[in-house]
A and B are shown apart, each in its own frame.
Chain A
Amino acid sequence: MHKRHVTNKHRFIGFVLIGLLVYILSNTVDEWKSFQGATIAVYVVAIASIILLTGYSGQISLGHGALLAIGAYTAALTQIYLHLPVWICFVAAVLITSLFGAILGLAAARLTGPYLAGTTLALAVGLPSIANQFSFLGGEQGISFDAGWPPLSFGEAFTQYKWFFWITSLTALIMMWWIQNLLRSRYGRTWRAVKTNEVAAELSGIRLARSKVLAFTVSAGIAGMAGALLATTINNVSPSAFPLALSFSLATGAILSGVNTLGGVMIGAVALVAIPEIASLVADRWSGSESVPSLLPDFIVSVLLILTVFLAPKGPIEKFRSRHVK
């Protein structure tokens, strides 16, 4: 491989190009595809949050759905009770979820393997159900979160979903830019060191607990943003938006992306959105049974998970890369 120095400028141009691409896409696709695009952007942020925690800092979370819930509820409550502009709601979502992540991280830093998995799992199951207990959280039907309609100057044909597509994609790009810079910074290197070998990292002067708590805090903040974006696309925040299945599918997305590399994050996000779509196309053609369309997506995702775990445990990108380096 030839060497070429990649500066931040190059990367920035890359991001701008992706942004441009999204812009062009948003002008050509229909309403439905815009909505899917927005969903992909939400998943990108959420999966990045898991990759940062698990792939870079080595901690497991089966409960990221709960963190998304905190972000989503924070955004909605900020809007409903404080009447603040949408972007401040987003910032609030990040801050509050980070705070929560820090507290959780303090506990998590003491826990390993199955204990951490169990704790985060219990959180994912437990947290959303609180909404049924306190009326200001809106109960089962939830509370609304309105990211607003597109400005009238964009014209009548500018659909709400296209507007969501823009908001989520722009936010996702900014988040990803920030995350990839962070991972290249001192903090990112510290996390990797801790993940690779805790004892060695500790000997070389890294404060383990602090590093782990920080990773949890940052990951939670990103998850909070993903939650606020999710609330944006469905206009609503309710317990049912954050079932255990969401946490599981985010973990799935992370594995499909390759949990050790941020670069593959698109793969997992696109897969989570595209698979149900492909499945329903297949099932429609095969219309013998009523139950096939509703079962096929789950089945494909599950099979894909197992295949990934077996064939490309470090993710499709690492797989590709290692084959070429050899």
Chain B
Amino acid sequence: MFELINTLLIGITAGSIYSLMAISVVLVWRSTRVVNFAAGGLALASSFVGAAILEKTGSFWIALPIAMVAGAVFSAFIEYFFLRPLLKRSGDKGAEIFLPIIATLGLLGIIKTILNYIYGDRVGSLPPPMSDKGFVFSGESIALSPMRLLILGIVLLLMISLTLVFQRTNLGLSLRAASFAPEISRLAGIRVDFIRTVGWAISGGVGATAGILQTTNGSGSVSPESFEFSLLLVFGFVAAVIGGIESLIGAVLGGLTLGIILAIILMYVGGSLVFIAAFLILILVLLLRPHGIIGAKGGRRA
């Protein structure tokens, strides 16, 4: 029984971090129709910033916000200097999603080589700010610690505030309008370009949080070739797609589904099947619902 409970707890924690990454992917897709593979690289870079600040100040609570801001700035920078000119050239047509994907892959490569050059074999240290010793129930310590509660709390807080921003504020309305109908939005006086940059910036901030939480939840150290970040990038993207790539709630559901099922497979079936399981979950969901759990109904034709 403890085994099952622990498995679920492990899955929920991992899944909620994937959710954050998925949200980061979703935000970029919503604002510019770009599948952003650079998101993983941005999360990695922001985590290094976080580690550096932590080393200087000794406080996780200073490091996390600064890393988020750094992630937002990196992300906005990329949107402004790379994606905006690129999308202008390709004429804003949603159909050509291959080129932006390739461009973000290129950016991912550049970010990674730069980090590799700066940090080499050194690692950035991001130890948990709170105890990561599991709570003890009837003599057994379970896979839920103050640190993990904190992770779940941060994820929950971010999701609630993002939902509020999107549904209750003018900014949220503009964000949604700019992505669904850029031309009409322009006519309505919305500064579409600026709004898109804001979308990317928020995405970068969320991605940075995902990166830092993934590191503290894992080995506590971040390196340019970190395996944990490959996991984060792949599962974050898969979670976004499962959730329907348009929806924040979908991203969260996708992330949690993925996290929990993968934890169960890891525990009861075998480590080698985790990745193929992710594929099978994805294709199963997409066969039942071609636009994800919470996706736009009916195909949107280019």
A contacts B directly in the complex (CB < 8 Å)? yes
Give every chain A residue within 8 A of B287 (Cβ-Cβ). Answer: 107, 110
Q: A60-B97, A125-B279, A129-B272 are in contact. Are A115 and B241 (CB under 8 A)?
A: yes
Chain B residues with a Cβ closer than 8 Å to the other chain, count: 53
Give every chain A residue within 8 A of B277 (Cβ-Cβ). Answer: 126
B35 proximal to A (CB < 8 A): yes
Contact of A309 among B99, B280, B300 (CB under 8 A): B99
Complex alpha-carbon distance, A129 and B272, angstroms: 6
A62 proximal to B (CB < 8 A): yes
Give, as a whole number of angstroms, the nearest-CB distance from A15 to chain B. Answer: 29
Give every chain B residue within 8 A of A127 (Cβ-Cβ). Answer: 276, 279
User: What total of A-B pairs shows CB separation below 8 Å?
Assistant: 144
B5 proximal to A (CB < 8 A): no
Contact of A125 among B85, B89, B272, B275 (CB under 8 A): B275
Give every chain A residue within 8 A of B276 (Cβ-Cβ). Answer: 126-127, 129-130
Give, as a whole number of angstroms, the nearest-CB distance from A10 to chain B. Answer: 32
Contact of A122 among B116, B279, B292 (CB under 8 A): B279
Q: Is A119 a contact of B110 with CB atoms below 8 Å?
A: no
Q: A107-B287, A114-B245, A121-B237 are in contact. Are A130 and B98 (CB under 8 A)?
A: no
Q: Is B103 a contact of A305 with CB atoms below 8 Å?
A: yes
Q: Is B105 a contact of A119 with CB atoms below 8 Å?
A: no
Give every chain B residue within 8 A of A313 (Cβ-Cβ). Answer: 89-90, 99
Q: Is A298 a contact of B101 with CB atoms below 8 Å?
A: no
Interface-central residue, A60, A121, A123, by most chain B CB under 10 Å: A121
A244 proximal to B (CB < 8 A): yes
Contact of B106 among A107, A121, A309 (CB under 8 A): A309
Give, as a whole number of angstroms, the nearest-CB distance from B278 to chain A. Answer: 5
Give, as a whole number of angstroms, the nearest-CB distance from A7 to chain B. Answer: 34
What 9 A-B pairs are tightest by C-beta distance, nearest first? A302-B109, A118-B241, A305-B106, A126-B276, A132-B272, A126-B275, A126-B279, A122-B279, A133-B272
> Hey, which bits of chain B sit against chain A, CB under 8 A?
29, 35, 82, 85-86, 89-90, 94, 97-99, 101-103, 105-110, 112-113, 116-117, 120, 230, 234, 237-238, 240-241, 245, 270, 272-280, 282-283, 286-287, 290-292, 299-302
> Hey, which bits of chain A sit against chain B, CB under 8 A?
54, 60, 62, 107, 110-115, 117-119, 121-123, 125-127, 129-133, 198-199, 244, 248, 251-252, 255, 259, 291-292, 295, 298-299, 301-306, 309-310, 313
